[in-house]
Amino acid sequence: MTTNTDTATDIPVSAPHAADAPERRRHYTTYNVAVILFMSIGSLSYGYSASIISTTLGQPSFITYMKLDTASNASALEGAITSLYFVGGVFGTFLGSYVADRWGRVRAIGLGAVLMVISGGLLAGSTAVAMFITFRFFSGMAGYILIAGVPLWIIEIVPPGSRGMLVDIHPAMFVFGYLVACWTGVGFYYAHGSGGIQWRIPIAVQCAFPLILLCGLKWMPESPRFLISKDRTDEAWPVLKRLHNRPDDPDDHYAKAEFYQIKKQLELDRQLESSYLSLITNKSYRKRLVYGSLWIFFIESSGVLVIVTYASTFYGLLGYGPAKQLSFTAGWMTISWASCVGACFTVDLFPRQITAGFGLLGCLVCLVVESVLIALFVDQAVPNEGALAAAVAMMFLFPVFFSFGLDGPTFIFLGEIYPNHLRSMGLNIGLAVHALTNVIWLAPCAAGLKAIGWKYFLPLICVSFVGVVSIFWFYPDTRRLPLEEVAKIFGDDELVAVYQRDLESVEMTDPKAFETEHVEIVAKRTEGEGVA
C-alpha cells in the first residue's frame, strides 16, 4: 500500500508505514530540546545523588569518621548505606505517581527537587552512620520521584518520530550526574582539612542541581496530555502549539491533529478503569505490566549499579590502590556518558527489542569475561599484569554496551507501553521494580564480594542470559508509534480512538473546533491493516 498525504494537513493517511514519514520522524523544535535539557537537571540530580556514594565509600576520612574501619558489622553498614537509597526509591515512585496524576507532572518533579535539597543538606551534615543511612533513604525517595517524573513528562510532550532521541536526553543527563559525582570525589580525595571536607562537600554539591531546577520550574510547560485529562483544554492547546510550532507548518496542522487525537483518546480512556488493580485484572494491562516489570528487572540485573556502586571494591580486587580506584571509576563514567550522548542519535534507528537485546548481550559477555579473568588471575603470587589490564578493559567496555543498548530504552519502552490514563502508574511501578532489583543485588554485595569474590557475578550472569533470550524472542517494537496507538500491538485495536493515518481531510482553522466537534475525520481503515 502506498502512502497518501493530504495537502491541507501534511499528515500521512492510510499507510501502514506512516510512522516512518519524515514529518513524524523529525518534528521537534529548538524549544522542545531546550525545555527537555533544563528539566533534565532533575535527571542529573538523581545521577549525582545516587552515585556520589561510590566515591564516598572510597574516601578514607569517611571510613574513619563513620568507624567503618573498626566496626564488626562494617559490611552490613555499607550494604545499608547503598541499599536504603533504593528502598527509599520504592516509596518515592508511588508518592511521585500520586502527585503526578493529581497535581501534574511538573509539580511532581518540583516535589522531588525540594526533597533532594533537604536530604542532601542533612546527609552532608551527618554526625553518625545512623543519621547518614536515614537520610540516604529520603535522598533515594527524592531521586526516584525525579527519575520517574522527568521521563514521564518528556514522553508526553515529544513527537513520536523523535521520542527515542529526546527521551534519551534523560539517561544522558543522569549519567552526566554520575560523571560529575565521580570527578568531584576524585578531586576531593586530595583535599585535606578538618570537619570531613573530603566527603561532606561532595555530598553537599547534590543540593545545587535541584535548586537550579526549582528556580526555573515555573516556566516549564505542563504535559498537554495531563492538562487535557483534567479538562484544561484552554491551557493545553497553547502548550501543544508551542511545542510543535515550526516554520514549515505555519497553520499548526501537526499540533492540531495531535491535539484532536489526544482529546478523543482521553474521552475513550475515561470510560475505562483507572487504578493499580486494573493493571492486574485487565488482561491487556496485565500483559504490559509483566512486560514492563521484567524489562526493568532484566536490565538492572545486568549488574550496572553493582559495578557503579562498588567500583572501588572491584578495582581493589584487581590490586589497585585508592587513588587508582577513584580514577578508574571516573574514567568509567566518562566513557558511559560519552556513549549515552552517542546513543541519542542511534536509539531510534533500530527496533526497541533489538537495541536492548544486543545491549544486554554485550553486558553479559563483559561480565562473563570479567569473572573468568578474576577467577584465574587474581590473588596469584606473581600478578599477571596483562590479565589485570584485560579485566579493567572489560569493565570499561561494559558501559558502552549498556549506554547504547539499555540506558535509554529502560525509560523509553516503559513509558511507551502504557495507555495515557495508566502511564504514570505503570512507569512508577516499573521504577519501583528498578529500585527493588537494586536492593536485591546491592544489599548483600559488600559482604558477598568479600566472602565469595567473583562468584557473586554468577546469579547476575544467569538472569541476564534469560533476559537476552526473552527480549529477543517475546518483546514488541514500540518505536515511532504515537502513544495513543501503542494499544494496537497489545491487541487493543478497539481502544484506539483515532489513528494518525485516519486524519485525511481535516478542517482545523481554529483550535476551538476541537471543543465544538467541527473537525471532520475521514476514517480510511482497511480490514486487517496493521500498525507500522
12-13 and 4-5 strand pairing: antiparallel
Q: Considering only 97-106, 192-201, 244-253, 263-272, which range has the smallest mean pLDDT? A: 244-253
Which residues, 6+ apart, have CB-to-CB distance to 475 below 8 Å? 291, 295, 352, 353, 356, 357, 413
β-partners of residue 4 are: 13
Matching residue, cell 553479559? 364
Q: Which of 342, 315, 29 is nearest to 186 (CA)?
A: 315
| For helices 129-157 and 423-442, angle between their N-to-C axes, nearest 10 degrees | 140
Mean pLDDT score across all residues of the chain: 83
Q: Which amino acid is at 40?
A: S
Say which CATH superfamily domain 40-220+262-486 falls into: MFS general substrate transporter like domains (1.20.1250.20)
CA distances in angstroms from 70 to 66, 77, 83, 250, listed in the order given: 9, 12, 21, 69
Per-residue model confidence (pLDDT) at position 214? 97
CA distances in angstroms from 299 to 236, 273, 302, 388, 419, listed in the order given: 35, 30, 5, 27, 23
Q: What is the DSSP letter of 406?
A: I
pLDDT tens digit string along 104-150? 999 999 999 999 999 999 999 999 999 999 999 999 999 999 999 99
Query: Domains of the chain: which residue ranges?
Result: 40-220+262-486
Q: Considering only 10-14, 272-276, 312-316, 526-530, which range has the smallest mean pLDDT? A: 10-14
Q: Which of 404, 353, 346 is nearest to 175 (CA)?
A: 404
The answer on pLDDT for 514 being more than 80 is no
Higher pLDDT, 43 or 27: 43
Distance of CA 179 to the CA centre of its chain: 16
Q: What is the DSSP string of 289-307?
A: HHHHHHHHHHHHTTSHHHH
Nine-digit cell at 342? 552517542
Q: Which amino acid is at 130?
A: A
What is the Cα–Cα distance from 467 to 217, expressed in whole angstroms? 38
Mapped onto helix, strand or coil, the DSSP state of residue 13 is strand
Percent of the chain with pLDDT over 70: 87
Per-residue model confidence (pLDDT) at position 318? 76
> What pTM did the predictor assign?
0.79
Mean pLDDT of 29-33: 87
For 218, how many CA atoms within 13 A lie in the half-sphere containing its CB?
1
Percent of the chain with pLDDT over 90: 41
Per-residue model confidence (pLDDT) at position 186? 81
Q: Which amino acid is at 129?
A: V
Nine-digit cell at 479? 518505536
The answer on pLDDT for 365 being more than 90 is yes
Matching residue, cell 569518621? 65
Higher pLDDT, 187 or 45: 45
Q: Which amino acid is at 270?
A: R
Per-residue model confidence (pLDDT) at position 117? 97
CA distances in angstroms from 305 to 51, 239, 308, listed in the order given: 9, 37, 5
Which residues, 6+ apart, have CB-to-CB distance to 277 below 8 Å? none
Q: What is the DSSP letter of 404?
A: I
Nine-digit cell at 6? 493530504
Q: Is the dihedral of CA 440, 444, 450, 455 positive or negative?
A: negative
Contact yes or no for 217/112 (Cβ under 8 A): no
Q: What is the DSSP letter of 506?
A: -
pLDDT tens digit string along 366-407? 999 988 888 888 766 666 778 888 888 888 999 999 999 998
Q: Which of 167, 436, 452 is nearest to 305 (CA)?
A: 436
Mapped onto helix, strand or coil, the DSSP state of residue 214 is helix
